[in-house]
Structure 1
Amino acid sequence: MIDQLWEYLVVAGVLLVAIVAGLAAFLRPGRGGRTKDLPKPTPKPTPTPGPRPDIGDEHPTGGVDTLPPPADTAPAEPDVLEPDDVLLEEPPTPTLERPDSARGRLQRLRARLARSNTALGKGLLALLTRGGLDEAAWEEVEDTLLAADLGVDATTELVDSLRSQVAVDGTRDEATVRGWLRTDLLALVDPGMDRAVASHRVGDRPAIVLVVGVNGTGKTTTVGKLARVLVAEDKDVILGAADTFRAAAADQLETWGARVGVPTVRSHKDGADPAAVAFDAVKAGIELEADVVLLDTAGRLHNKTNLMDELGKIKRVVEKQAPIDEVLLVLDATTGQNGLRQAEVFASVVGITGIVLTKLDGTAKGGIVVAVQRKLGVPVKLVGLGEGPDDLAPFDPEAFVDAILA
């Protein structure tokens, strides 16, 4: 009985030891035993860089639109630009235009001028070379000259001279009559007038040129073309966009200047004070040591007193810095005698020193050159003979007369 009890105790002890050992092994981690399976922690994902923002994508504050690195990670290393990885492509340098030389422009355009004035030249020659120059024929000669806007005084002077020569010589030879006409017309055009446009520095300041005229004469275009004439003569030019009432005027002038590398002083505010813009342009010309400052002004009707007063104000304000050396009046040649009254009013307000005749190729009224010079006592200095950028030419009296009689 005792033996059996002892045997049970031994077996129970063995089982107890086995159970204790098993529990110990089960509870010890990393030794093949198992604890409760727990999900492994998910590693924090590393942020991947997105596409580089375009250079133009900016915050309202002006900063470039980029994302900051996560607070718990180190800043990413800056990208290394490969040779082909260009962020901003530099725009190509614009090719500046080189205007045609001003010298000889009128000769180059003589054929165009001759075509426009053919009625005057051919009409006179036809009348003077036909037989039997009676009073009726001389009246036709006068009518032809008046129709060409030569003016009454100049017409009377020319007809009297021709009648005297015909009476003395009695010839009807076309070459001889052409010679008489050339001499008399050239005298009327007056080749002795100074037709140079102010374009040289005066002491320590630039020459100041004010350009005026009525609406529709092509004034802003003329200023742009004149800048090209001066650039062709290697002058440093500043443009002043003092036409602040026509929305596109400053843009138009700036475009003309940019094509030949000439800066434009302008206001980006509609209705800005034109005198202030003109003042700033002259100031810039002095500081930049330019040769010439060209001031474009708004077109205005000569019978609008307030607008003419404003033009006088522009002149006075500019002259607080420097005298105005040249005042060019732009006239449309097709208006003929109607433009003379305009010219008189402008001359009384700002003191005209020279005339620019535009659209001279579109009219047979070449006599306006003589009429306007006699009316104002100032020379025609420039003529517009087309719509091309280099179709503004210094006026050459001999080439002009030869074109009429071509």
Structure 2
Amino acid sequence: MASHRKSRPAGSRVAGIRTPALATAALTSVALLSQTATAAPADDRPSLEEVQRKVDDLYRQAGSATEKYNAAKEKTAKQREQVDGLLDSLAARTQELNDAREELGSFAAAQYRTGTSVSDTATLLLADSPQDYFDQNQLMDRLTGRQKQLIDDYATQQAETMEKRREATESLRTLTDAQTDLKTAKATVRTKLSSARRLLADLTAEEQARLAAIEKKKQEEAARKAEELARQQAAEQRRQEEAAAAAQEAASGTTSSSASSSSGSPDPGYATAAEKALAFARAQIGKPYVWGATGPGSYDCSGLTQAAWKDAGVDLPRTTYDQVNAGTTVSISAARPGDLVFFYDDISHVGIYIGDGMMIHAPKPGAYVREESVYYDGESSIHSVVRPA
């Protein structure tokens, strides 16, 4: 006879006690989670050092894109000015051509009334190449001097108008390309800056404090290197002065100024201009960095150097790529106040040297114009030093 007892639910024993299937599954899940936690850390966030490197790299990329934006903006402005000039010239020449056409039309009407050469002149007005028409029909033999001059002027004006129209069309195409480059550079800057801000916004208050400590240590190292450079420069200056004094004493008639010039020191005119440029730069300290800005309320790096030297009477190009070629290259050990210090392989940043291993620059978005060590971003980041004017 069949048993009436209910079958027990499937399960397993834990410490000699049968457990329901649901409890078994829960215990298994806990065990698996414990194993996973042991096998790999739950927090896979990047370290603060990695965050700092990423942020710094994004800011450098934004700086490079800013200089490309500045170049595209300058090219766009020049191209737009050229297009406007060409269109104005085209309009004037078109008016002259219309006037000449009207005068020739009067000439054709007069021929019609006298019954002479009506078809010749009318065909001339419709011809693509008046000179070809003259050659084929020998019309010139039948025209008066005044009439010949009218036709010559018309042919010349027609050719010049067509050339201006071609130039304007090409210039408009170039302007469109420059505007496209400008939009691309602008979008790149914004993307890089947004990425950097997101990385920083994800940090906790504690992480931000630790990151600030890392940055402080980095600045202390940069200051140490600046002091070392200042000592090297002071020693080199003493050596040059001693050499100049010895040369003056050994050779009568050798002036201290000529000895100084032979040692590679900048001339007094440069020192005066540099002093004025530095005075302007110091007056901008505390103003915010804004990419693409040239003052007076804010600056990017090359906008600041351009404005400072302009105040000293020297016109520098707009971008770092061009400013680096606007003077004489010297070594960092020979840098003098007023010299331009360029950074990174792509020459995307610049500051104005003030002496003692320090410079004034507009660092990056979120920062302000300030004095800082030329080693603010590592010794290897210095690209070159240029003495303008």
Kindly indicate which of the two structures has a greater share of residues assigned to helix. 2
Question: Same-fold call, TM > 0.5?
Answer: no
**What's the TM-score, normalizing by structure 2?**
0.22
Structure with the greater alpha carbon radius of gyration? 1
Which protein has greater RCO, CA pairs closer than 8 Å, 6+ apart? 1
